[in-house]
């Protein structure tokens, strides 16, 4: 058995895929004693798990207090709330954001273009999603930095695998959640009196079967958007630029044929997935492969492995810009399929178009640092320095 700890060397965290390929062959389903959970590596098994919320519940004992969000709910409550927030996330609402995404991207690039070098992460990929979610929710721009700090803490994993580190991270998360809750409570109070055209106002007016959402539910949902939408989109943007720098001819190909960009982004999602794994809990005894998973046990589905499964994808370790079909699992599958996928795709699309329109020869600055993000479920780097020439 390859222990998960083996993945903790810098090299493997930056490129874990050969390890996943090996695990899929040797132990496609296995129980990891040290973490006390099952790991599942094959596409077919993971697809089945995500498709079956009755057997594989999303109600996992998350560390942060008892705040429930759609991410950790099962039907029927999940169905009701998801239906409601779907209405707030319609394709129209999202596509209306395109011109804002465009102008914010341009502003962020204006700030760095003179230097002909930038850190993709801190100069572009971090601020853009935070600004967009803050605007969507209706948070004033001057509070953006507060937001960034809170959302960072919410997705942070422990620095070390010790009880102390876990306790500390839980305490930090509770504090950040309390601060965010107070903050949103104040905004909600204002919007109740004076509604605006923002998501918080919409949620305040929305009803499920004749009942309004509770304050707790609205806060929970706002916090979920921050936690689920920021770092993931940051990593999509950074991983996409990383891919561009790994293949210079791809840059020209996409510049010449921008209609390839949506397919390119899907392939980035498959190849370098921002979220590597999705957790569930078995609600009853169930067999996967030759193994019996018993009621109450945790199951971790490694989508980063499923996306490279040769039984599903032809030539899976090759990056194919116009791969079709491309049924990657990076946004999940089934009833919990990522609510923010249209927004993340739109941001990715506009960032790529703008970068390629404005800059050429985008290259990784060799020798600059590339540190992976601590959380084992996230795939991304903390900084990614590139140089470029202006077009």
155 part of the interface to ligand HEM, by CB under 6 A: no
Which of the ranges 148-156, 177-185, 197-205, 228-236 carries the binding residues for ligand HEM, by CB under 6 A? 228-236
By CB under 6 A, what part of segment 79-118 binds ligand HEM?
Answer: 82
Select the residue whose beta carbon is closest to ligand HEM and give its number.
Answer: 340
Shortest Cβ 113–ligand HEM spacing (Å): 25
**What is the size of the binding site for ligand HEM (CB under 6 A)?**
24
For ligand HEM, the closer CB: 127 or 229: 229
Question: Looking at residue 62, what DSSP letter applies?
Answer: -
Query: What is the rounded distance in angstroms from the CA atom of residue 89 to the CA atom of residue 93?
Result: 6
Between strands 117-119 and 385-390, the pairing is antiparallel
Angle at which helices 144-155 and 127-137 pack, to 10 degrees? 110
Beta-bridge partner residues of 41? none
Least Cβ distance, residue 46 to ligand HEM (angstroms):
11
Under the binding rule (CB under 6 A), the answer on residue 137 touching ligand HEM is no
Distance of CA 180 to the CA centre of its chain: 20
Work out which of 338, 373, 381, 386 binds ligand HEM, going by CB under 6 A: 338
Which long-range contacts (C-beta less than 8 Å, at least 24 apart) are formed by 111-117? 113/358, 113/359, 113/390, 116/387, 116/388, 116/389, 116/390, 117/365, 117/385, 117/386, 117/387, 117/388
Residue 133 engages ligand HEM in binding (rule: CB under 6 A): yes
Query: Residue 181 half-sphere exposure, CB side, CA atoms within 13 Å?
Result: 13
Closest CA to 382 of 7, 9, 13, 6: 13
Q: Which of residues 233-252 bind ligand HEM (CB under 6 A)?
A: 233, 236
Number of Cβ within 10 Å of residue 382's Cβ equals 15
Q: Nearest approach, Cβ of 295 to ligand HEM (angstroms)?
A: 19
**Residue 224 near ligand HEM by CB under 6 A:** yes
Among 340, 356, 372, 378, binds ligand HEM (CB under 6 A): 340
Residue 225 touches ligand HEM, criterion: CB under 6 A: yes
Decide if residue 274 touches ligand HEM (CB under 6 A). yes
Name the residue among 98, 92, 91, 122 with its Cα closest to residue 354: 98
Nearest alpha carbon to residue 48 among 35, 29, 62, 70? 29
Beta bridge partners of 56: 282
Stretch touching ligand HEM by CB under 6 A, among 198-206, 274-282, 285-293, 364-372 = 274-282
Q: Which of 127, 229, 316, 376 binds ligand HEM (CB under 6 A)?
A: 229
| Omega before 76 within 30 of 0, i.e. cis | yes
What is the x/- site pattern for ligand HEM, positions 306-335, by CB under 6 A?
------------------------xxx---
The footprint of ligand HEM on residues 161-220 (CB under 6 A) is none
H or E segment to which residue 175 belongs: helix 163-193
Q: Which of residues 34-73 bind ligand HEM (CB under 6 A)?
A: 58, 70-71
386 binds ligand HEM (CB under 6 A): no
**Terminal alpha carbon distance of the chain:** 51
The answer to whether 265 and 345 have CB atoms below 8 angstroms apart is yes
Determine, following the binding rule CB under 6 A, whether residue 134 of this chain makes contact with ligand HEM: no
Binding footprint of ligand HEM on the chain (CB under 6 A): 58, 70-71, 82, 133, 224-225, 228-229, 232-233, 236, 274-275, 278, 330-332, 336, 338-340, 343-344
């Amino acid at each position: 058995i390859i222990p998960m700890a083996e993945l903790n060397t810098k090299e493997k965290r930056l490129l874990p895929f050969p390890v996943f390929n090996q695990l899929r062959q040797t132990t496609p389903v296995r129980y990891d004693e040290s973490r006390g959970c099952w790991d599942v590596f094959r596409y077919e098994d993971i697809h089945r798990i995500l498709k079956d919320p009755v057997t594989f519940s999303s109600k996992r004992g998350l560390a942060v207090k008892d705040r429930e969000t759609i991410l950790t709910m099962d039907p029927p409550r999940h169905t009701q709330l998801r239906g409601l927030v779907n209405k707030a996330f319609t394709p129209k609402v999202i596509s209306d954001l395109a011109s804002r995404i465009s102008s914010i991207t341009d502003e962020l690039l204006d700030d760095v273009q003179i230097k002909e070098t930038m850190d993709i992460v801190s100069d572009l990929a971090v601020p853009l999603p935070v600004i967009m979610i803050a605007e969507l929710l209706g948070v004033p721009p001057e509070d953006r930095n507060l937001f960034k700090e809170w959302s960072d803490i919410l997705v942070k994993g422990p620095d070390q695998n010790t009880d102390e580190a876990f306790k500390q991270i839980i305490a930090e998360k509770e504090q950040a959640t309390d601060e965010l809750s107070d903050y949103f409570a104040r905004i909600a109070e204002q919007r109740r009196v004076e509604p605006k055209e923002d998501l918080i106002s919409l949620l305040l007016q929305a009803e499920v079967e004749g009942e309004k959402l509770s304050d707790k539910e609205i806060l929970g949902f706002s916090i979920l958007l921050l936690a689920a939408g920021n770092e993931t989109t940051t990593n999509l943007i950074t991983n996409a630029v990383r891919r561009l720098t790994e293949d210079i001819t791809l840059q020209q190909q996409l510049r010449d044929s921008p209609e390839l960009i949506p397919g390119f982004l899907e392939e980035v999602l498959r190849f370098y997935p921002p979220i590597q794994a999705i957790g569930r809990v078995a609600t009853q005894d169930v067999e996967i492969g030759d193994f019996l998973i018993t009621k109450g046990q945790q199951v971790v589905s490694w989508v980063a492995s499923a996306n490279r499964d040769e039984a599903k994808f032809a030539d899976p370790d090759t990056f194919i810009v116009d791969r079709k079909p491309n049924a990657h699992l990076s946004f999940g599958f089934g009833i919990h399929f990522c609510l923010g996928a249209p927004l993340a795709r739109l941001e990715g699309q506009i960032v790529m178009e703008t970068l390629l329109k404005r800059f050429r020869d985008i290259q990784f600055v060799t020798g600059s640092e590339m540190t992976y993000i601590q959380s084992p479920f996230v795939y991304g780097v903390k900084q990614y320095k590139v140089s470029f020439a202006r077009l």
